[in-house]
Amino acid sequence: MYQNSRFSKSPSAKRRNSPVPWRGLFPALMLILIFGSVSQPAQAAPSQDTIWILPKLEASPATITLCPNESTYIYVTYREDQYRASNLSAPVQGQPVSGMTINGTVSNTNVAHLVRATTTTRTWRAGITALFRIVAGSSFGQTTVRFEAEDILAPLVGPNGENVVLIPPDPLDVNVEVKCEYLVQAFSSWVLPGERQLYTLGVLTAIVTPDGNGHFSNIPATMSSSAAWVGPCPGTSTIQPSTADISGYVGQDKFTAVINYQPAQTSTTEGCKGKSSSGPGQPEPLPFEVPASGGTATYSNHILDAYVSVAGTTIIVVIPLGP
């Protein structure tokens, strides 16, 4: 029998000489792991940056001056800037606070007080605004209104998961002063009794500016005067206007003052006899009182001279001109 022994092998021999399929797999895996770790960088850890919320309070107007018993409105606005701790030079557009309470307190309620406050919520970054109405008291003085933001609803995390830290805003103080300038006018008329009546008119005008405590003294006033005869044998009369000054006090709902007149010189010529005469005449001091917010009052007063006392009437008008 013919056998080709060169190309035939026993089964055991084939198993001993054939290559094992997994012997080259281990080195290949090692190369992949080694070179793969070099070409694929490790992923960075999430950022733990912090957002700082730095708010402040602003008031409009920043200071307030009122006449007694006047009132005005003041707007108090909460505004904020947000910064990342990693870059404090550039503000960021973070999530704004969603609400708060703005409260106001007055240090001296005898000078002024708050009578209304409303808070409006916002959907923009301009701020949350509270509206207050401040009413002045009846006397002059100064006080401070302190505004504070409380119960601020700040976001817990930033838009990218950052920590959020809110620094409470400092209180805001607004100075309030109650003072006023006044126009004071006195319209006077005096009548000389008798057959021939001499009507004398006088108008006094003064601008009064009390000090911080409501006092004023020796405020000069201008005077204008005129005279007219009524009856038989009318004559002529000229009056050298008197001067006057005003002193007083504004407080406790009242404007209280006294007008001190200086002597005036009067020259008269009677029509029938042509007799002329002249002499001084001086209205008596005139105390008066009107509301601190202004008003009118009527008083009787006299002109005193060397010969006769002339009765008359004076109407006082006081008008607040503003701070």
Query: Beta partners for 120?
Result: 129
How is residue 54 written in tokens? 């730095």
Exposed/middle/buried for residue 295 (C-beta within 10 Å: 0-12, 13-18, 19+): middle
Backbone angles phi, psi at 22, to 5 degrees: -100, 0
Whether the Cβ atoms of residue 265 and residue 240 lie closer than 8 Å to each other: yes
Whether the Cβ atoms of residue 111 and residue 122 lie closer than 8 Å to each other: no
Strand 181-192 versus strand 163-166 pairing type? unpaired
Tell me the range of 118-132, 286-300, 309-323 where mean pLDDT is highest: 286-300
Judge whether residue 232 has pLDDT over 50.
yes
Q: Tokens 């406050």: give the residue.
A: 117
| Entry pTM | 0.64
Which residue ranges form the domains of the chain, and what is each CATH number? 50-178 (2.60.40.10), 181-322 (2.40.160)
Backbone angles phi, psi at 225, to 5 degrees: -140, 155
pLDDT of residue 201: 66
Q: What is the pLDDT of residues 50-91, one digit of tens each?
A: 888 888 999 999 999 998 889 999 999 888 888 888 777 777
DSSP 267-293: EEE-TTT--EEEEEEEEPPEEEEEETT
pLDDT of residue 100: 78
pLDDT of residue 174: 96
